[in-house]
């Protein structure tokens, strides 16, 4: 998906997937070598949603297990946070990143979503996030503050 190289931001991309597996938000913070169409992003989100469900079933524990929390690869590391309502917040970062910091970012992202998307009367639930300007503005500030990136 992405080749190695020095990227300007430690955070590569952000995805938000609704409870039925549809991609509702996506943001790329670095340039990809291979350009993906919007359809590919939807497919990727769907596949991840399926994988998450499978892994939570596969866990060899008696109690209910969560799905994929982190996924490490050579060129990137992926973190996923699923809320109690089934909405997944996914972030891909450079490898060897501090887990605690990224998990903190994910919970801040969840809080931004709850505030600026869910409380917006002009947003239809479970639909792609189009017009929530305040969400975008505050998300950019959060990224700039946490990772010292200029957007």
b/e 23-57 (16+ beta carbons within 10 angstroms → b): bbbbbebbeeeeeeeeeeebebbeebbeebeeeee
User: Smaller CB distance to other proteins: residue 33 or 119?
Assistant: 119
Q: How far is the CB of 115 from other proteins (least distance, A)?
A: 5
Residues that bind other proteins (CB under 8 A): 115-116, 119-122, 130-135, 137
Q: How far is the CB of 118 from other proteins (least distance, A)?
A: 8
User: Smaller CB distance to other proteins: residue 38 or 111?
Assistant: 111
Q: Please give the structure tokens belonging to residue 135.
A: 């969400």
H-state helical runs in the chain: 38-58, 99-112, 133-147
Q: How far is the CB of 123 from other proteins (least distance, A)?
A: 8
Q: How far is the CB of 130 from other proteins (least distance, A)?
A: 7
User: Smaller CB distance to other proteins: residue 64 or 84?
Assistant: 84
Quick one: which H or E segment has residue 15?
A: strand 11-17
């Amino acid at each position: 998906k992405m080749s190695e190289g020095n990227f300007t931001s430690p955070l590569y991309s952000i995805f938000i997937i609704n409870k039925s597996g549809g991609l509702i938000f996506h943001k790329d913070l670095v340039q990809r070598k291979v350009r993906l169409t919007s359809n590919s992003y939807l497919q990727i989100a769907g596949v991840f949603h399926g994988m998450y469900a499978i892994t939570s079933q596969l866990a060899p524990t008696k109690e209910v297990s969560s799905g994929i929390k982190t996924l490490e690869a050579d060129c990137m590391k992926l973190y996923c946070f699923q809320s109690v309502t089934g909405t997944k917040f996914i972030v891909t970062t450079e490898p060897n990143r501090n887990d605690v910091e990224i998990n903190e970012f994910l919970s801040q992202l969840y809080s931004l979503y709850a505030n600026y998307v869910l409380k917006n009367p002009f947003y239809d639930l479970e639909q792609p996030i189009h017009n929530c300007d305040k969400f975008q503005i505050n998300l950019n500030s959060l990224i700039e503050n946490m990772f010292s990136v200029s957007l």
